[in-house]
Structure 1
Amino acid sequence: METPSQHRDGAPLRSTLVAVGLTIFGLVGASIATVPAILADPALLEGMADASIESRTLYMILNFVGMALAGGLYLAATGRGWSYVDVRMPTKTGWWYVFGGILASIAFLFAVNILLQLFSIPAAESNVVEVVGQDQTMILIMIVIVFFFNAPAEEFLFRNVVQKRLYDAFTRMQSVVLASTIFALVHFPMYVTLAESMLATASSLAIMFGGALIFGYLYAKTDNLLVPTAAHAALNAFQFGVLYLAVEYDIETAEPAPSVLLDAFGAVPL
């Protein structure tokens, strides 16, 4: 763990630019990796909802595989190797962080949902909502995907690679804030095209920033990738569970909630 006197020899500007580049590289890598799915089913280009469940499933899996490969390529190219990856079974304290992270993120989701509805603040429509639509089978498939592909890939790239790279020049908490800011801002082009207004774009990016802060903090406190990954996976499963119940029981009053819930932590670069 970091101490106040710990030496940091990285140049702040260089470390920041590398972090930005890694984030963009990860998102681009995720998009490139989906090409085989698109070639297999061109309907994916016309709209995710028009494609088959098999095609959508392959697309989502390849999306996260590409993101993880981008992080792996960086570790290989820089000689860091897999020893750089902080994976081990969480201690008892680590599991408490997982539990606390789940509670904190769920509380954050509900607080955001209440504020958005109370002040009539719009949010950009989530791409994930388009992927699953009203298809309950796809919702259940997404729960499996978030455990085995989504959470592991995103946490590996954005926490264990991007955030940890920032440790060379910044304190851990500074790195958490900076990595979360970068994560949100690189999604600006995506959300500005989806949102009906700049206010909707800003609110969606703020939600992403808040979620990234929570998971970044978990990683910074434990030095264990499995802690934020477990919390992230459980949170995403909760989100899709809410969406499943909304569809199953036709809960019209819950319609605004799924989009907000998915926007908060389900950032998928489609």
Structure 2
Amino acid sequence: MSSSDIFIGETIGTALLTLLGGGVCAAVTLKSSKARNAGWLAITFGWGFAVLIAAYVSAPLSGAHLNPAVTVGLAVKTGEWGDTPVYFAGQLLGAMLGAVIMWVTYYGQFRAHLADPEHIRDAKLGPEDPHPHDVAGPVLGIFSTGPEIRNVVQNLATEIIGTAVLVLAILTQGLQDGGKGLGVIGVLITSFVVVGIGLSLGGPTGYAINPVRDLGPRIVHALLPLPNKGGSDWGYSWIPVVGPLVGAVLAGGLYNIAFA
């Protein structure tokens, strides 16, 4: 695979991932959405199908990493780090593009939701708050993750564990396969792994398990002209970046010890 193929494939694939994954969060959350209040099961399966579609489309070009944690885990497994920056660049750009397209799709619903007096009240911070950007706004959860209980050690451990499960499941499929990318069965397995992680381990933090899936849309949330959107919770933002990368390294190391 050439660097241009990798960059284009990861950009397209990760854009589809955050468009469809963020889209199910928007559908379940926003006022005037037909799927509002569909619940956690809809979110977990929505993200699973997002992985399925994004990986299937992008696999011929880039191997469908779509996640810096997957890229790092594969690099630890193989010792090949040369294309890592290209993967990272495509993934971050794609994650941001997908979040923007999701916002365009639900533009009317965002406006209706954020015009609700209850959400306006939630978005407004008291003058005594010294860190307004560290507070999660009322629609931030559509773009990025956040913990139910703020505990740095627990939140970080949750992201490490969830990502280690994901990456180990991918590594044991042998997804490199001579650089040809994912087969259809591998895509299906990975999609169901993501659903399983969401159902079993997603409760504490919303299971980012992917640094750019959280960081890219969080940047978009901070930049978009959303009235009454509140803060982007930058104080938490490092956890869904660092945790998945640590989990990926651990999974890669475990693979090399136990399976190589």
Instruction: Give the TM-score normalised by the residue count of structure 1.
Output: 0.34
Instruction: Give the structure with the higher percent helix.
Output: 1
What TM-score, normalized to structure 2?
0.35
